[in-house]
Amino acid sequence: MLLHLARRSLANRLLTTCLTALSIAFSVALLVGVENVRTGMRESFSNTVSGTDLIVGSRGGTIQLLLYSVFGMGSPVANISHDEWKKWDEHPAVSWTIPYALGDSHRGFRVIGTNGSFYERYRYRGGQPITLSEGRPAEGVFELVLGAEVASRLGYGLGDPVAVTHGMSAVGLMNHDDMPFHVVGILARTFTPVDRAIYVTLEGISAIHMGWESGAPPMPGQEVGADQVLAMDEIPVTQITSFFLGAESRAFTLQLQRDISTSEDEPLTAVIPGLALAEMWRGIAYAEDGLRIISMFVVLVGILGMLVSIYTSLEARRREMAILRALGAGPRRIVSLLVLEAGLLAGIGALLGVAFVYGGLMLAQPWLEGRFGILIPIRALDGVQLAYVGAVVVLGFLAGLVPAAKAYRTALHDGLTARV
Amino acid sequence: MTNSSYCIHADGLRFAYSGGPPVLDIEELVVASGERVFLYGPSGSGKTTLLGLVAGVLSPPPGTLHVLGHDVGALSSSARDRLRAAHIGYVFQMFNLIPYLDVRDNIALPVRITTERRRRVDGPVDQAVVAAAAQLGIEELLDEKVTRLSVGQQQRVAAARALLGAPELIIADEPTSALDTDRRHAFLELLFKSVEEAGSTLLFVSHDLTLADLFDRSVSLAELNDRVSA
């Protein structure tokens, strides 16, 4: 009955109740939502690449290797020779490899030399394969495939010519514009860094650099023309930058990693992408702690707002308290009533907040995925989130004690005489 | 020296609010069980204080005030709350009702918020509420919002609530002062009938002496209270 009374009392002050519950709801939504976004970001991040057991590059830092091979940031210190890659590609414990040859760009987007394995084997986010939305994989020397983001930003379509720049500057000082690359395919959107790159064949990368072996543009008279390249029987591929590796069995991964890292032929580093991504995430996770602390303070502000709203309502409710006193309600009963009201408000606010989170997620999920490539999963609240919601309700009850203490004193003082 | 046939027995009852001068000094006041007593109390006569003491909201010195056989001054404040909950029905001058509850919930309020009063109601509360409402002629108003009622109707709801569970003592603090003369009499008739049926004692406080004749006995608080200078 006390609950009934508390409910009706709140309903009686509908506007204040709604506003107070809303402010709590928003703060809870923020707290729970931040947690959701955090989880979503972490999962999107660690699922940038999946199904790959090892990523191998020249010896160096694991994070650096991840950055240039998975995220398209920074550049490798050294390359891997074609023969070394082939050695591991043909290793009995290795099922497949995807070679990456980096170093060139087109209007700020990376150009990656790879081969057919990329289209067949590359997996992201829980094992989804990459698919072409238009055209076909690049096979010929001067064929290229655009990532979805590249295609939409630059507005290129099938058949359009693309000039590749040596190095990574957006405005290439040294355009290989004598090499007539053109678009043969466009990848479907993956919401990973795959979307922001251009894919050519390993031979294509070699062709770009013919005559550049010294590292500088060819001397006049030594340029290699496109027709010359096309006339070649076989274009030599001497180097790649890194390769993704799938083992015959997961069980071989650690042994392979050890073997590759200690290989005497060439100094190599092999990382397990899941572990390295998690390690990298921990490095940048302190920012999310800041976000979480801020949202906790927002919750505190919401609870304080509720406290104030109940406290200020007390003056108008002195008569009500006197009636309850006359009916035999002890001061403790009046305290319970107010604490119950506060708890109820916090509970309603918390539920509403959770509803906001789910509603907001349903509305914003496709947009977030499209805009930022972050898939925030819609699923039941996890333990941490439930603990947050519970803490808000408990905090609400506790906050109710403040106005309740005031009502207790007033009730004792007023007795049956309060006139309003 | 408690006599169980006394409903209220004040004997040398003196009271002062903490730190203040004495406001009440009653040599003796006896209200017998089942009696209808008119307490004539103009403002300043200590009426509020006396009612607060009888209802157990204020604490008198031990041994000076017995209500229904209980030495009020010897009880803890929660025991006094329980005494009031179980045995006393209270009707205010006005604003008796909780504005956000309907008539039905207002009448049922005492048995809902205290178990003491609940025990006094036989059978389902809903039936008791309907019966109490019928007694005061407001059964058709049960589902109304109390803010829609006239003052007279509100006072009847308050009386029905006070009578629910037939408490031994009904204290009515100027319940008719907001009513016009016709309604005043109609209300009193209903109140008397209901109090009689419940077998309750009625302590009726008013400054309107024209009502005094309707009661078994009338007492002037101003004369009773030695602290009031005439």
pLDDT tens sequence across A166-206? 665 545 455 555 677 899 999 998 888 899 899 999 998 88
DSSP B79-147: HHHHHHHHHEEEE-SS--S-TTSBHHHHHHHHHHH-HHHHHHS-S-HHHHHHHHHHHTT-GGGTTSBGG
Could you give all domains of chain B from N- to C-terminal order, each with its CATH number?
35-59+83-224 (3.40.50.300)
pLDDT given for residue A169 in this prediction = 52
**Residue B30, SS3?**
strand
CA angle A193, A196, A197 (to 5 degrees): 105
Are the beta carbons of B57 and A12 separated by less than 8 Å?
no
Domain boundary assignment for chain A? 2-45+286-414, 54-271
Say whether B48 and A417 touch across the interface (CB within 8 A): yes
Q: Which pLDDT score is estimated for B64?
A: 86
The Cα A334–Cα A322 span in angstroms is 10
Give contacts of A1 with chain B, Cβ < 8 Å. 112-113
- Buried (b) or exposed (e) across B107-137, using 16+ Cβ within 10 A? bbbbbbbbebbbebbeeebeebbbebbebbe
For chain B, the residues whose C-beta falls within 8 A of a C-beta of chain A are: 48, 51-52, 55, 57-58, 77-78, 81-82, 84-86, 88, 90, 92, 95-101, 105, 109-110, 112-114, 116-117, 161, 173
To the nearest whole angstrom, how far is the Cα of A28 from the nearest Cα of chain B? 29
Cβ–Cβ under 8 Å, residues A316 and A284: no
Q: Do B112 and A12 touch (CB under 8 A)?
A: no
Residues A375-411 pLDDT 10s: 777 788 888 888 888 988 898 888 888 888 888 887 7
At A105, which helix (H) or strand (E)?
A: strand A94-106
Q: How far is B210 from chain A (nearest CA, A)?
A: 25
Q: Where are the alpha helices (DSSP H) in A13-147?
A: 14-46, 62-69, 82-89, 116-121
Please report residues of A whose CB lies closer than 8 A to that of B53. Answer: none
Interchain contact, A326 vs B58, CB within 8 Å = no
Of A162, A143, A141, nearest in space to A230 by CA = A141
- Strands of A115-164, DSSP E: 123-124, 128-129, 132-135, 143-146, 161-162
Do the chains contact at B78 and A333, CB–CB below 8 Å? no
For A319, name the nearest residue in chain B, comparing CA atoms only.
B95
Mean pLDDT for the stretch of residues A329-340: 84
Is the CB of B100 less than 8 angstroms away from the CB of A9?
A: yes
The whole-angstrom separation of Cα A57 and Cα A271 is 9
Nearest CA in chain A to B77: A330
Task: Name the residue among B90, B98, B109 with its Cβ closest to that of A416.
Answer: B90
CB contact under 8 A, A319 and B95: yes
- Chain B residues whose CB is inside 8 A of the A326 CB are 55, 84, 90, 92
Is the pTM for the entire model greater than 0.80? Answer: no
pLDDT reading at B22 higher than 50: yes
What would you report as the CA-atom Rg of chain A, rounded to the nearest whole angstrom? Answer: 32
Q: Do the Cβ atoms of A240 and A202 come closer than 8 Å?
A: yes
Cα A350 to Cα A391: distance, rounded to the nearest angstrom: 10
Question: CB–CB of A328 and B113 under 8 A?
Answer: yes
B93 and B84 in contact (C-beta within 8 Å)? no
**Are A332 and B110 inside 8 Å of each other by CB?**
no
pLDDT (mean) for A343-365: 89
Residue B117, min C-alpha distance to chain A (Å): 9
> How confident is the prediction for chain A on average, in pLDDT?
84
What distances in angstroms separate CA A336 from CA A18, A313, A404, A415, one per listed residue?
21, 16, 8, 18
What are residue B67's DSSP bridge partners? B8, B70
H/E run at residue A165: strand A165-166
| pLDDT confidence tier of residue B228, bands split at 50, 70 and 90 | low
Taking a C-beta distance cutoff of 8 angstroms, is the pair B36, B212 a contact?
A: no
Q: What is the pLDDT, as a whole number, of residue A224?
A: 66
Interface touch A327/B98, C-beta < 8 Å:
no
The residue ranking higher by pLDDT, B64 or A185, is A185
- Summarised one tens digit per residue, pLDDT across range B97-156 is 888 888 988 898 888 888 888 888 888 888 888 888 888 888 888 888 888 888 888 888
| Interatomic CA distance for residues B125 and B111, integer angstroms | 8
A216 pLDDT above the threshold of 70: no
What residues in A contact B155, CB-CB < 8 Å?
Answer: none
The pLDDT-based confidence of B1 (bands split at 50, 70, 90) is very low
- The pLDDT, as a whole number, for residue B112 is 83
| B6: pLDDT strictly greater than 80 | yes
Q: What is the mean pLDDT of residues A262-291?
A: 85
Alpha-carbon distance B78 to nearest alpha carbon in chain A (angstroms):
6
Q: Give backbone dihedrals phi and psi of A269, rounded to 5 degrees, phi first.
A: -125, 135
> Distance (Å) from the C-alpha of residue A403 to the closest C-alpha of chain B?
19
